[in-house]
Amino acid sequence: MQGKTIVYDTITVNRDSGISFDVWHQNHYIPSILGAGQLLNVQCYGSPLRATYVSVFESNASAATLHGVLPAPDHPAILSSERHVATFMNEQMAAGAIAPLREAPILYPVLFSVPAAGEADFNAWYDEEHLGILLRSPYWPMCRRFKVYKPQPESWTHIALHYLTDLRALESRERDEARATPWRAKLALNDWFKGDYRVLYKLGQRRMPEK
pLDDT at position 211 is 43
User: What's the mean pLDDT when you consider all of the chain?
Assistant: 92
Residue 82's domain comprises: 5-207
> How many angstroms separate the CA atoms of 36 and 17, rounded?
26
Q: How confident is the model at residue 75 (pLDDT cuts 50, 70, 90)?
A: very high
Q: What is the pLDDT of residues 9-41, one digit of tens each?
A: 999 998 887 778 889 999 999 999 998 878 999
The whole model's pTM is what?
0.93
Domain count, the chain: 1
Residue 149: give its domain's CATH number. Answer: 3.30.70.100
pLDDT at position 103 is 81
Q: What is the pLDDT of residues 93-148, one digit of tens each?
A: 998 887 777 789 999 999 999 999 999 999 999 999 999 999 999 999 999 999 99
φ, ψ of residue 41 in degrees (nearest 5): -165, 180
Largest CA distance in the chain: 53
Could you tell me the CA-to-CA distances from 130 to 58, 105, 118, 142, 143 in Å, in that order? 25, 22, 16, 13, 11
Q: Is 144 left (phi over 0), alpha (psi -120 to 50) or beta?
A: beta
DSSP state of 208: P
pLDDT at position 36 is 82
Look at residue 153 and tell me whether its pLDDT is greater than 90: no
Q: Which runs of consecutive H residues, i.e. helices, occur in 58-115?
A: 63-66
